[in-house]
Amino acid sequence: MSKPQQPQTSKSKELKIVTRHVVSLSDVEKNPRLIKLLYITSQFKDISEKALIHLLYYMRQNGYDLGYNFVVIGQTPTSKDVSSDLSVLKYLGLLEVNEKKKLSVSSLGREFLGKHLETSLKNDKEAIEKLVNELKTRIAPIDTEVEIKVKRRASKA
């Protein structure tokens, strides 16, 4: 006698489609918040995304609000809006991520800032520079922490 056949079960992978809006440099030109974010990032040789989010959060606490929403979990601010804007700037090649997993302004980004610095940032440039200089020491440990974690992961691999 033969055994009754079991129905075959097959594993299938579900295709997940995520819609992303296509952005261009002209979209960034029309968005002063993106230009300010790029300028703030340009104040550093390189900076981790985590440290940048902390910086923007502290800037807001000191009266300079770019309009980002933050959620604070265990004294750590996070922002989906900032991450989304950083993705746009990376997508367009205005920001790069280096081997230390830190953001830096690309040559295209520096060129872009050079063109738009006087028009888009004329009123905010000094306030941004002043706050960034005041807060650099406060975010330096966060940036160092990220760098140490990246080095640990690289040495384990």
- Where in the chain are the domains? 25-155
Residue 95 phi, psi dihedral angles, 5° rounding: -120, 150
What is the spatial distance between Cα 31 and Cα 107, in angstroms, rounded to a whole number?
20
Q: What is the pLDDT of residue 16?
A: 78
Q: What is the pLDDT of residue 150?
A: 83
Q: Which helix (H) or strand (E) holds 43?
A: none
Q: What is the pLDDT of residue 59?
A: 95
Q: Do 51 and 143 form a contact (C-beta atoms < 8 A)?
A: yes
Going by C-alpha positions, the residue among 28, 21, 33, 3 that lies closest to residue 109 is 28
Pick one of 3.30.160, 1.10.10, 3.30.420, 3.10.450 as the CATH number of 25-155.
Answer: 1.10.10
DSSP β-bridge partners for residue 97: 103
State the 10-residue block means of pLDDT for the chain, 157 residues long: 58 74 83 93 93 96 93 92 95 91 93 85 86 92 87 78
Q: What is the pLDDT of residue 3?
A: 57
pTM of the entire predicted model: 0.82
The SS3 call for residue 123 is coil
Phi-psi region at 79: left, alpha or beta (left = phi > 0; alpha = psi -120 to 50): beta
